């Protein structure tokens, strides 16, 4: 399924039904009084959060949505039927904004949360409403009001506690597939992951957190290079960012290790710069280093590489050396993540 995380749609609420002009016409009452009923109110349009959805794909091609108009009033003071409301389902984490003004209308965080995005038109009044002591047979009625009409921009930001950040092919998809039930596409070439993946990581019987595998970000992503900035937004709700660092390829002598450490540290700094360029608050988010693919080299060389990288990145006070594919070192990582999330302040 294709991942769609931003769409523009047009919504038009229902028009109110017109009021009726009618008079009683019964046997022996040839000139009865007014009995025209009111019209029905126009249908509203609502945005509804649905936890079973994870993309805005339903709105990629269907762009215009209309609620039902209210029916007109009728004789015998019959009120017209109200127009049927329209409910548009979206994933949790969707932000709704007015496309023309840029004003944020709201965002849906909880399942079944509802936001009104277009109000239906008010009903028109029948001539019964205008009867008075001086006008016993009014012919005046009113028409129903038009429903609200507006263009909406829907933007999805994934609701994840932890975001995995790293260059393409760093092992992000492998990690999330091994510690959760998520099944992203995995292959040994860059940009295998073309859309974010969410996975629920269970840590013990009653504790869990949500992890997001963000498609590989490269230098210039905040300016649209590579898969671009469209996926960086999905890190905005996370409490923790894990920098996945691929420690391969590597050499065995000190000179080769030094060269590799410079390259790895430089890659991390470039990704940090992309975060800052996109959103300064992201650069200030808690970030840990996770060195991956330790199953392919021995512990001594792993430690040498880690030490060399950390000398060049002193601001990272937490780091882990793991093998996502073999689960080596992942248990301590997950326990520490759970503890950090549990202690993180509520936003």
Three-state SS annotation for the chain: CCCCCEEEEEEECCCCCCCCCCECCECCECCCCECCCCCCCCCCEEEEECCCCCCCHHHCCCCEEECCCCCCCECCCECCCCCCCEEEEECCCEEEEECCCCCEEEEECCCCCEEEEECCCCCCCCHHHHCCCCCCCCCCCCCCCCCCEEEEEEEECCCCCEEEECCCCCCHHHHHHHHCCCCCCCCCCCCCCCCCEEEEEECCCCCEEEEEECCCCCCCHHHCCCCCHHHHHHHCCCCEEEEEEECCCCCCCHHHHHHHHHHHHHHHHHHHHHHHHHCHHHHCCCEEEEEECHHHCCHHHHHHHHHHHHHHCCCCCCEEECECCCCECHHHHHHHHHHHHHHCCCC
What is the average per-residue pLDDT within 116-136?
Answer: 96
Residue 7 has pLDDT above 60, yes or no: yes
Highest mean pLDDT among 110-119, 149-158, 230-239: 110-119
**Higher-confidence residue: 343 or 289?**
289
The sign of the dihedral angle between the CA atoms of 282, 293, 321, 297 is negative
**Higher-confidence residue: 324 or 196?**
324
Beta carbons of 211 and 180 less than 8 angstroms apart: yes
| Residues contacting residue 139 through CB under 8 Å, at least 6 positions apart | 21, 127
| Residues contacting residue 298 through CB under 8 Å, at least 6 positions apart | none
Beta carbons of 325 and 296 less than 8 angstroms apart: no
pTM of the model: 0.69
Residue 142 confidence class, pLDDT cut points 50, 70, 90: very high
pLDDT given at position 278: 79
pLDDT digits (tens, 9 = 90+) for 296-321: 888 888 888 899 999 999 888 899 99
**Higher-confidence residue: 81 or 265?**
81
What is the average per-residue pLDDT within 116-138?
Answer: 96
Residue 225 has pLDDT above 60, yes or no: no
Identify the CA nearest to 245 among candidates 293, 296, 174: 293
Within 10 angstroms of residue 340's Cβ, the number of other Cβ atoms is 17
Average pLDDT, the chain: 85
What is the average per-residue pLDDT within 131-142?
Answer: 94
Residue 194 has pLDDT above 60, yes or no: no
What is the residue extent of each domain of the chain? 1-156, 162-343
The residues facing 189 across adjacent strands are none
pLDDT digits (tens, 9 = 90+) for 71-125: 999 999 999 999 999 999 998 989 999 999 999 999 999 999 999 999 999 999 9
Q: Among 143-147, 191-195, 336-340, whose mean pLDDT is lowest?
A: 191-195
CATH number for region 162-343 = 3.40.50.300
Identify the CA nearest to 296 among candidates 285, 284, 305: 305
| Rounded Cα gap, residues 159 and 214, in angstroms | 12
CATH number for region 1-156 = 2.70.210.12
What is the average per-residue pLDDT within 231-253?
Answer: 78
């Amino acid at each position: 399924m294709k991942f769609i995380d931003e769409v523009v749609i047009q919504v038009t609420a229902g028009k109110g039904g017109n009021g009726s002009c009618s008079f009683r016409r019964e046997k022996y009452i040839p000139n009865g009084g007014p009995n025209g009923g009111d019209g029905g109110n126009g249908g509203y349009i609502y945005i509804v959060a649905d936890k079973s959805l994870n993309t805005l794909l339903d709105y990629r091609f269907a762009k215009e949505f209309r609620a039902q108009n209210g029916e007109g009033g009728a004789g015998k003071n019959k009120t017209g039927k109200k127009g049927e409301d329209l409910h548009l389902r979206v994933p949790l984490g969707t932000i709704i904004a007015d496309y023309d003004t840029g004003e944020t209308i709201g965002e849906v965080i909880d399942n079944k949360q509802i936001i009104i995005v277009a109000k239906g038109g008010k009903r028109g009044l029948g001539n019964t409403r205008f009867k008075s002591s001086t006008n016993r047979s009014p012919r005046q009625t009113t028409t129903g009001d038009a429903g609200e009409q507006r263009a909406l921009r829907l933007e999805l930001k994934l609701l994840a506690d932890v975001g995995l950040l790293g260059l393409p092919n760093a092992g992000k998809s492998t990690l999330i597939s091994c510690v959760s039930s998520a099944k992203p596409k995995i292959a040994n070439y860059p940009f295998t992951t073309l859309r974010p993946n969410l996975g629920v990581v269970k840590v013990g019987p009653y504790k869990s957190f949500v992890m997001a595998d963000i498609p590989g970000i490269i230098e210039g992503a905040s300016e649209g290079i590579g898969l671009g900035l469209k996926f960086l937004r999905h890190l905005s709700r996370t409490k923790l960012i894990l920098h996945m660092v691929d420690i391969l390829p590597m050499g065995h002598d000190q000179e080769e290790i030094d060269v590799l450490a410079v390259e790895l540290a430089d890659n991390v700094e470039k990704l940090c710069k992309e975060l800052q360029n996109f959103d300064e608050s992201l650069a200030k988010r808690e970030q840990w280093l996770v060195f991956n693919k330790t199953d392919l080299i021995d512990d001594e060389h792993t430690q040498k590489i880690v030490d060399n990288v950390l000398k060049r990145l002193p601001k990272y006070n937490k780091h882990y050396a793991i093998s996502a594919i073999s689960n080596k070192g992942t248990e301590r990582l997950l326990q520490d993540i759970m503890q950090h999330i549990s202690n993180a302040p509520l936003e």
